[in-house]
Amino acid sequence: MRTENHQKNWNEIKTNDSWAIFKIMGEFVNGFESMSNIGPCVSIFGSARTKPNDKYYELAISVAKKISEHGYGVITGGGPGIMEAGNKGAHLAGGTSVGLNIDLPFEQHDNPYIDSDKSLDFDYFFVRKVMFVKYSQGFVVMPGGFGTLDELFEAMTLIQTHKIQQFPIILVGTEFWGGLMDWIKSTLLDAHHNISPTDLDLFHLVDTEDQVLQILDDFYNKANFSPNF
């Protein structure tokens, strides 16, 4: 009897997995159709827990405002904290402000600075991550937690393995990112040779909005805008 119940439960799981394919397809189709006409954008990542009085919140506003004034739209995860600051900066500059929201049990809620026609909702992290990578001409990575690190390292891995075209990955905040960068160089590269010296060229470490814009402009003076994948 117990074996029969286990088999029944397993069959139900397989059926649910099969039907989930259609929901996943729906998220991809909606995302592709919504994002394909927004023009060149830069994604800004960072902690949802960063408060409006934090210096990095203010810096994220300045970064987003600066790059929006120079013709780039801004994509964020749509939530509070650094994401809100990124959308706010784009909104203040009159630029494109996109939010890719995800259903989470805590922290996530839409911020008020997303363009009303550019707020997308996702249930699946992996679908949302494809949208970030496919439709971004650069990643600006502010201080954040696990989610921010996840986006950072996935992008570097995809570029490293030539699964996508290279685009600028810009870490903002030397005091925050400096220790991680030192570890990558001293441990991953020098001590264990787990990466190549050229992999250090996959990212930049800066502290100001002017430096962010300079890196983006320098890169795209030599390259064309085009979707990834």
- Spatial neighbors of 222 by CB under 8 A, at least 6 apart, are none
Q: Which two tokens stand for residue 11?
A: 């069959």
Distance between CA atoms of residues 136 and 187, nearest Å:
30
Angstrom distance (rounded) from CA 45 to CA 144: 8
The pLDDT of residue 40 is: 93
Task: Evaluate whether 65 touches 90 at the Cβ level (below 8 Å).
Answer: yes
Mean pLDDT by 10 residues, the chain (229 residues): 56 70 95 94 97 98 97 96 98 98 76 96 95 97 97 97 96 98 98 97 98 96 75
Burial of 13 (0-12, 13-18, 19+ CB in 10 A): exposed
- What spatial distance separates the first Cα and last Cα of the chain, rounded to whole Å? 49
Cβ neighbours around 95 below 10 Å, total: 22
Rounded to two decimals, the pTM is 0.91
pLDDT of residue 144: 98
Q: Domains for the chain: give ranges and CATH numbers.
A: 39-220 (3.40.50.450)
Centre a 10 Å sphere on the Cβ of residue 163 and count the other Cβ atoms it contains.
11
Query: How far lies 167's CA from each of 44, 163, 201, in Å?
Result: 14, 12, 11
Look at residue 114 in the predicted model and tell me its pLDDT: 98
Distances (CA, A) of 226 to 189, 200, 204: 31, 24, 21
Contact at 8 Å (CB) between 43 and 75?
A: yes
Question: Which tokens hold the place of 216?
Answer: 């983006």
Q: Which distant-in-sequence residues (6+ apart) come within 8 Å of 224 by Cβ?
A: none
